[in-house]
Structure 1
Amino acid sequence: MKPRKVSAAAAAALTLALAATACGSDGGGSDDGKKITVGIKFDQPGVGLKTPDGGYQGFDVDVARYVARELGYAPSDVVFKEAKSADRETLLQRGDVDFIAASYSINDERRKKVDFAGPYFLAHQDVLVRAGDDSIKTPADLNDKKLCSVTGSTSAQNVKTKLAPRAQLQEYGGYSECLTGLENGTIDAVTTDDAILAGYAAQDQFKGKFRLGGFKLSDELYGIGVKKGDTELRNRIDAALRKMVQDSEWKKAVEANFGPAGYRSEPPPGLSTPAG
């Protein structure tokens, strides 16, 4: 968090104080009205992606920007920080980010550590396989196959414990690594939410190479994560999400980010907490 500008006379007096507090900054911005730090994915096309020119795009990015605007922040005051699946709870607990919009599925285990606004999106767990691979037609066909997901994600564990116990689970740091393995044949299937998989499959370098299984293995309700106990911020974000749906910006964001892949989203899910 950058300190506000001060006069030359005050600057000298505040030098030691600023130096002492700089290292202890919580990384947020919602309290001082200057900057707000938002955790997103950097490697999920269609959902959250950092582009080669340093920009950011994707459905979650659009949602985060809309919410930040409703919280009173200009676009230039939004700072994006990478939120890998395994790091999301830690980022919130340490105060490194103000909120996280990063394909963050709400579940009971995560609710013990963080609070959620939303849900704002309903996805379904699915698998991505090579277009010419006809050996995986049902979830049971994943038995004895090399199944990839990212560290900290529940998707692969869901398959292994409930549907294909003999699946050979491979966990990588990011989905892009899973896609590379799928393309070169060292991985047989990648599993995560269908929206994420559709975003990857729609990339120019992957067009025609992969296909979705269409299994709908689970319902994944995406929420915006906030620090545990921050009820005020959670409710303000809920209010922003409600407005985004009501004024059709939610629908526009879905169509802009997932439409090119032919993906059809579910209607927006109801928000679970009161606004205000």
Structure 2
Amino acid sequence: MLTFPRPRRRLLRLAAGASAVLAVLTGLGGCAAGGSLLDKPSLVIGVKPDQPGLGMKADGKYTGFDVDVATYVAAKLGKPVRFVDAPSARRETMLTQGQADLIFATYSITPQRKTKVSFAGPYYVAHQDTLVRSGESGVDNVRDLRGRKLCEVTGSNSWRRVKEERKIPVELVRSKSYKTCVDDLLAGRLDAVSTDDLILAGFSTGQTKIVNAPFSDERYGVGIRNGDPDGCEAVNKALTEMYQDGTARKLLQRWFAKSGLALNYTVPQFEGCG
């Protein structure tokens, strides 16, 4: 049996005590980080503040399809909700740093994003299309964008579908939001804006038009922190009920019936809540 001098034994006891305290603190921290949104008294939900028809902020109030869907889900979960701005470039950060519990912000589910956060839903499947000035006659589909100036929004994948996936040689013009893209389009600083048709529908006016040549499926997911399968399943249950009770149809018609888009009223195929 090994023995140590008294000072050495005291140091060993102190080290063991410190390790025990550290283990307890680490365990508590892990519980806090891994807690479910179902345990929260209220929810913070990130939405877009500048996308007509989807998420708009005016006088401190948020309106739009995404906002209405988020409100419905929160009500089904029995949670009061506070909305916050969720710019495209900050959606993952807001979830991973605990600044938002859920994100409803035209958040397309992609393999790259799934390495950082989880997704419930999708709550709708949109399709990427192209917006041009109303007098433009040379763009009938995405391939006609060859050699033209296309908007690139920071944090969005839409431009990648054109330049990287379809190898169309466009000149990218960076922007912080799709509202800025449309402003630049109208000012002649770029030739086209290509992203989800629901986003484009909100910006379509007498000065712009949608080409109506969709070329991808964009699955709008509900962003959620990793490690909360119970929260994810609860959100999916609420979304299913939203379609079954007719609320989804009412909301889609309310916000997009005048757009001319072919709207889908059936429950999308959900992602798994692993």
The TM-score normalised by the length of structure 2 is 0.83
1:49 pairs, out of 53, 56, 60, with 56
Cα contact 2:119–2:271 (8 A) shared by 1: no
Deviation by residue 1:203-236 (Cα, 9 ceiling, x = unmatched)? xxxx211111112121111110100111111111
Deviation by residue 1:11-34 (Cα, 9 ceiling, x = unmatched)? xxxxxxxxxxxxx99xx975341x
Residue type matched to 2:218 in 1?
A: E
> 1:168 aligned to 2:168?
no
SS in 2 for 1:169: strand
SS in 2 for 1:178: helix
> 1:236 aligned to 2:239?
no
Q: Equivalent residues in 2 for 1:92-241 (5 A)? A: 92-163=95-166, 165-201=168-204, 207-241=205-239
Q: Equivalent residues in 2 for 1:54-69 (5 A)? A: 54-69=60-75
Identity %: 42
Cα contact 1:115–1:226 (8 A) shared by 2: yes
Cα contact 1:46–1:58 (8 A) shared by 2: yes
Q: 1-side partners of 2:270 and 2:159: how far apart?
A: 27
SS in 1 for 2:160: helix
Bigger radius of gyration, 1 or 2? 2
Cα 1:29–1:221 change in 2 (3 A) is: closer
Q: 1-side partners of 2:40 and 2:170: how far apart?
A: 49
Cα contact 1:182–1:190 (8 A) shared by 2: yes
Q: Hey, what does 1:72 align to over in structure 2?
A: 78
* CA displacement at 1:143 relative to structure 2: 1.2
Count of residue correspondences: 240
Cα contact 1:140–1:164 (8 A) shared by 2: no
Cα contact 1:139–1:163 (8 A) shared by 2: no
* CA displacement at 1:59 relative to structure 2: 0.8
* CA displacement at 1:271 relative to structure 2: 2.5
Q: Hey, what does 1:14 align to over in structure 2?
A: none
Q: 2-side partners of 1:71 and 1:273: how far apart?
A: 19
Q: 2-side partners of 1:261 and 1:214: how far apart?
A: 11
Task: List alignment gaps of at least 5 residues for structure 1.
Answer: 1-23, 202-206
Q: 1-side partners of 2:166 and 2:188: how far apart?
A: 22
Cα contact 1:89–1:113 (8 A) shared by 2: yes
1:253 pairs, out of 251, 254, 268, with 251
Q: 2-side partners of 1:108 and 1:29: how far apart?
A: 23
Q: 2-side partners of 1:140 and 1:36: how far apart?
A: 43
SS in 2 for 1:118: strand
* CA displacement at 1:164 relative to structure 2: 5.0
Q: 1-side partners of 2:172 and 2:255: how far apart?
A: 29
Aligned-residue CA RMSD (Å) = 2.0
Q: 2-side partners of 1:195 and 1:149: how far apart?
A: 17
Q: 1-side partners of 2:195 and 2:97: how far apart?
A: 27
